[in-house]
Chains A and B, each alone.
Chain A
Amino acid sequence: MTDESWTVALVRQSDVAFARQVAMKAMTAIGASAIKKTKFVTAVSEIARNAVIYGHGGAITFRVVGIGLHRSVVGECTDRGPGIADMQLALKDGYTTGSGLGLGLSGARRLVDRFDIISSAESGTTVTLESAAR
């Protein structure tokens, strides 16, 4: 179970829906609570959609880490986009360069137990989301 992983290619909007389904499957696999599932799936939806809209597409991989009651799901989303020039600004509530609410990044950060983001113009953006079962 621990070395199982699922990868979803993110090219078009409909892939985001598929990423949500796979995120749900991974959370179910670790016996996560309903609220944890909903929060994680929503965070995945935000990050995956950003990768499609701003990151020129990419992929998200889900892994199960830890053992027993301490298992969690890690989702790593990478894209080959232009990266985020001003990270502090991008993580601010309400900041958007598109037509969204500007709450995707900041909101996703509040929905998970661990949120890491690395971004550069050369290698695009990588967001790591982790959520424990409870």
Chain B
Amino acid sequence: MPSESASLSSILSSDFEKILASWLKAQAREGVKRTDLVSAKETEKQSRDFLIAFGRATRDAPTDDKFDFANPSWDPVREALEEITESRTQRGVSPTEMGWFIASIKLPLFEQMRVAFAENNARLLENVWNTTRVVDQLALHAVESLVQKREAIIERQRAEMTEVSAPVVKIWDRIVTVPLIGTLDSFRAQTVMENLLDAIVQWEAEIAIIDITGVSTVDTLVAQHLLKTAAAVKLMGAECVICGISPKIAQTIVNLGVDLPNVTTRIDLQSGLAYAFERLGVTTKG
């Protein structure tokens, strides 16, 4: 047992219940006890589990300047933090709230240290400093873990959105269409292009209709993607028809100075289809 860390660990073990109660109070005071998101019972259980793991780690590993979070003695603490961040990510707790949640443990620890080292200012200072360094590291870890988990969720949602928002449909023999919806960032534009080219091959399409009715802004980036897609479609031996350009978007494109040479455009999907039928010599009755 490293003697330097005896103070933090002995305070944690001898005043456990007091520290826990005071931490829960501090959480509320710091506004990090999100009663709207996480129940009081759950918070208490998580705080208790974390504090138990924390107490053990401070007993088994150094907390002075030899403190190393990579030390296996800290594994149970990492696991406890993992559980806390997991449940909080799902509930939409912010990184700041997550950070404060852990950081607020400092208050009850300092309170106890002030009592324990009332006679020895140097020892008090040293312990406050060590505790700060350790707790800050834990708080940072919790924030990072929360952010990582959140990004994973966003990434998943984004992937799901790409899936559903660019369905290429074979609308007629040798004609495929893809409706674009929402914002066309580079990532989605790439997916749309790939899907469209695949579909052209798969269905031996000769005309690809891109319907941009659902695209709210056509800026130079979107225009460039459309031009690239049209060029690729042409290279595949098919023709690209862009439809759904509203009058206000048409004006904006002209103002931007974007030129759409070699790209057939039609006002809406019906006119686009009519054009395609004509090109392919399809006769429609009616």
Q: Which residues of A contact B (CB under 8 A)?
A: 13-14, 17, 20, 34-35, 38-39, 41-42, 45-46, 49, 93, 100-101, 103-104, 106-107, 110-111
Contact = CB atoms under 8 A, between A and B. Distances in A.
B251 A39 contact: yes
A14 B151 CA distance: 13
Nearest to A17: B183
Interface of B: 183, 185-186, 216-221, 223-224, 247-249, 251-252, 255-258
> Is the contact region of chain B dominated by helix, strand, or loop, or is it mixed?
helix
Contacts of A107: 220, 255-258
A82 B122 CA distance: 49
23 contacts: A20-B216, A20-B217, A34-B248, A35-B248, A38-B217, A38-B249, A38-B252, A39-B252, A39-B255, A41-B216, A42-B218, A45-B219, A45-B221, A46-B256, A49-B219, A100-B220, A100-B221, A100-B224, A101-B258, A103-B258, A107-B256, A110-B255, A111-B252
Nearest to B221: A49
A37 to B, nearest CB: 8
A66 to B, nearest CB: 23
Contacts of A93: 257
Q: Output the residue of A13, A34, A101 with the most chain B CB within 10 A.
A: A101
A103 B256 contact: yes
A92 to B, nearest CB: 10
Contacts of B256: 42, 46, 103, 107, 110-111
Contact of A38 (B186, B248, B257): B248
A104 B220 contact: yes
